[in-house]
Structure 1
Amino acid sequence: MNSNEIILPCRLSYANIWEARQSMEGDKMQYSCCLLIPKTDTATIQRLQKLMTKIESEAITTKWGGKKPASYAHPLLRDGDTDPTKGGDSNYAGCYFLNAKANADHPPKIIDARCNPVMDRDEVYSGCYANVKVSIYAYNNPKGGKGISAGLVAIQKTKDGPRLGGDTGTDGFEPLSPEVEDMLG
């Protein structure tokens, strides 16, 4: 790993990890995922904050003209209990979260607990738990301002969890009895 990468144990939300998409019309195609980190995981939060501080310190001299921005338009690490974009979403309660993205030409590696590539797209989904490697970097964009962001590098699924954002499309159905099948046939 390089010095700006960190592996975060988390829960996946909005896991657009299998196909690059546009977040808004006109945007470039990207892979993306929101990472939910329980507030109780203080060790992970502290490691992430330490790395963010390091990246900020470097960016002050290399990207931001000697001055740290007073605030960021899009903070990297946000509070799921108070962030207005989450509107009281219970899945974010008690968590910090961050969004990570990868350009269409650099899809995230997706592996299982044994580090084997995952081929079944239903295996890694919004709601499952994973170790996610992100690359933290500073930016200075004329349109987007100055800030810190996370690049999505790799995802290692660690365990299943309740799916977020709906069902698989067939949830709720039951096999038809032979009598009903005969009536329909």
Structure 2
Amino acid sequence: MKANTKVVTGKETRLSYFNGWKPVSINGGDEKYSTQILIPKDDLDTLAAIEKAVDAAIENGLAKFGGKKPNKQAIKLPLRDGDIERDDDVYKGHYFLNASSTEVPQIVDRRVQPILDQSEVYSGCYARVSLNFYAFNTNGNKGVACGLGNIQKIKDGPRLGGRTTANDDFVSEDADDDFLS
């Protein structure tokens, strides 16, 4: 029986580089739904679950590694340290990973109702995400990757990437004012 490689993140994870509504090609590869997930370093439950799932993915994928369990320092792992790898305040105090899928994720609200308004889920909002870890060996690159499952938006957060909303840019005018006069 295969070990469990599925993880559902905690409530304080944040989405970045969000492409959950429409698949995109990254670096010329196949089009996929994807997002980067920022996990606070103090979310010990999520981090422990990811570590366990990565270990399970290695065990389940021994055939990809020639039948031998690889040294984890010798392969690519999905969880990365934002304090070390990114010079960006958003990543400080976080680990991050990239998750993708060729299948469209279900995107739901806190009550597990489908979110239809695509502007509701964006880079910067907080969400729980279901992830599946799996071993890979492609063109000599060996490691564990992260598949994107479903997304549950938990709450709004400041948008990432510099994009602002109309409410951020403009002051509301009284509807009775005739601005054309």
| TM-score, with length taken from structure 1 | 0.85
- Asked if 1:12 is matched to 2:9, the reply is no
In the other structure, the counterpart of 2:169 is: 172
Alignment partner, residue 158 of structure 2: 162
- Superposed displacement of residue 56, structure 1: 1.2
Q: Which residue of 2 aligns with 1:112?
A: 109
Distance across 1 between alignment mates of 2:104 and 2:165: 26
What is the TM-score of this pair, normalised by structure 2? 0.87
Deviation at 1:58, TM superposition (A): 2.6
Counterpart of 2:98?
Answer: 99
8 A contact 2:18–2:123 mirrored in 1? yes
Matched AA of 1:71: A
Deviations 1:112-138 (A, max 9, x none): 111111101111111111110011111
* 1:98-120: CA deviation from partner (whole Å, max 9, x where unpaired): 000011xx111101111111101
Q: 1:130 — aligned with what?
A: 127
Segments of structure 1 that go 5 or more residues without pairing to the other structure are none
Indicate the RMSD between aligned Cα atoms, in angstroms.
1.8
Please name the residue that 2:147 is paired with. Answer: 151
SS of the residue corresponding to residue 82 of structure 1 reads: helix
The aligned length equals 172
Identity within the alignment, %: 40
Q: Tell me, in whole angstroms, the C-alpha distance in 1 between the residues paired with 2:172 and 2:59.
A: 60
3-state SS, counterpart of residue 115 of structure 1: coil
Instruction: Look up the SS of the partner of 2:160 in the other structure.
Output: coil
Question: What is the Cα deviation at residue 79 of structure 1?
Answer: 0.2
- CA apart distance, 1:51: 1.2
Cα offset, 1:161, TM superposition: 1.1
SS at match of 2:148: strand
Gaps of 5+ in 2: none
Deviation, 1:169, is 4.8
d(CA) in 2 for partners of 1:169 and 1:162? 10
Cα deviation for residue 53 of structure 1 reads 1.1
For the residue of structure 2 that corresponds to 1:63, the secondary structure is helix
